[in-house]
Structure 1
């Protein structure tokens, strides 16, 4: 029996309209994914506090990120999550190393949070919810009939409203991270900044995913069921023999 592959991140929200249980832990990558995501940040903060040696801290954190990818390769497991994490950690470490300031390890995160917040805010102003676009794109890639695909979910008032709400929720998540963490960066409180980053990282992500699921699950399930019913009806009409002329 083949085990169904669990969807993670926003892909887990794309499955909200399907039957089946939703798992927050699986949505954020499972226990191993959580550990691999948080460990480099924990090591960076703890080692820098313990040694005050930025170069050593950077070297150990980089080695750890590489080891995580190598372990997955050896175990013949998916490396995409670990590899993307390696790239992100690498950018952060290079930024800190080039600037000779530990606090700049967190600069890349500020930029990505600000970019996501700006894009989602623009989508709200345009009344085309960014989270809706993302989830629907994952659900069904619009390789053709783009207008039909777009209007299919945009014209569902309840579903669009849910997408608007969760888009606003994620704007709040990204904005709150910046409000709390940027002042700590500007005042060079590296330990507090690192702690805040950890607490507002995976835990915030998990909470936002869970709340987003609660908001969109029912309207998305109804939308999916209605679409399936309409397709079944259309298929039945297409196969029904034409009435006799006699």
Structure 2
């Protein structure tokens, strides 16, 4: 029996794959030509991303189908500092008018509004609150200048308080309490809270408190306005500003938290 010739040893050939044949791993094979042998996959040297890591795929903490929320109402208002900055010109007018007279108080209030705007520009803070405060003090200064009386400066704010009191009462009547709408708007939440009877009742009481606050401002400051007591009106404007608003905010928080605790089931 003769030995096989060396040249007759069988050789193993690589399979030939057509371009239309899907690869075994399911990935598209770029540049494949008919009859081209399959080569070992090249080593991946660059960064890769899996489909699961894509935004909205459910692995990054985001809920599929939901888009990222935009800035909240509080963000648009510039936060607490923005709210304070928008009222600085009014406070300056009140103080300067009590110390001096109408004309210096108007100049000081407008100057304070400009300074606040520049300060927020330098700090790269949102300038919308400063612009709103400057526009507001400009309207008040215009009214005071036209009437020639310092009490005219407080007239727009007095009318605005009356408007807010009316809106708060109407919101309670139509069962869309303003405190709940604003609170959830600031925090970027929806309005699903209205389906919770406890929260609806709590926000109704809170809105009633705010209506009372604005109503007191109208009554007290309105009486001082009619009496032409400019200095007393300015002091009342300051006293019934942040201090009274702080009490209303605290009452709102306590009422809502109590309702939330009552609606939370206790562990057994």
Shorter chain as denominator, the TM-score bin is 0.5 to 0.7
| Residue in structure 2 matched with residue 131 of structure 1 by the alignment | 179
> Is residue 28–residue 206 contact of structure 1 (8 Å, CA) maintained in 2?
no
Deviations 1:164-199 (A, max 9, x none): 110101001100111111110011101000000001
Aligned residues: 193
- Please list every run of 5 or more consecutive structure 1 residues that lacks an aligned counterpart in the other structure: 1-6, 13-26, 143-148, 227-246
Q: Distance in 1 between matches of 2:146 and 2:217?
A: 25
| Residue in structure 1 matched with residue 50 of structure 2 by the alignment | none
- CA change 1:85–1:69 in 2 (3 A) is same
- CA change 1:191–1:28 in 2 (3 A) is farther
TM-score, normalised on structure 2? 0.63
Q: Distance in 2 between matches of 1:72 and 1:140?
A: 24
Q: Distance in 2 between matches of 1:137 and 1:29?
A: 15
Deviations 1:64-112 (A, max 9, x none): 1111111111222222222222222121111111221110100111111
Q: Distance in 2 between matches of 1:65 and 1:132?
A: 31
Q: Which has the higher contact order (CA 8 A, sep 6+)?
A: 1
| Residue in structure 2 matched with residue 159 of structure 1 by the alignment | 199
CA RMSD of aligned residues (A): 3.0
Q: Distance in 2 between matches of 1:129 and 1:48?
A: 37
Deviations 1:179-221 (A, max 9, x none): 1111100111010000000011111112211211111134357
- CA change 1:132–1:50 in 2 (3 A) is closer
Larger-Rg structure: 2
> Is residue 66–residue 86 contact of structure 1 (8 Å, CA) maintained in 2?
yes
**How far does residue 139 in structure 1 lie from its aligned partner after superposition?**
4.4
Runs of at least 4 residues off by over 3 Å: 36-39, 136-142, 218-223
> Is residue 95–residue 104 contact of structure 1 (8 Å, CA) maintained in 2?
yes
Q: Distance in 2 between matches of 1:118 and 1:103?
A: 23
**Equivalent residues in 2 for 1:162-241 (5 A)?**
162-220=202-260
> Is residue 40–residue 65 contact of structure 1 (8 Å, CA) maintained in 2?
yes
- Please list every run of 5 or more consecutive structure 2 residues that lacks an aligned counterpart in the other structure: 1-70
| Residue in structure 2 matched with residue 60 of structure 1 by the alignment | 108
| Residue in structure 1 matched with residue 167 of structure 2 by the alignment | 119
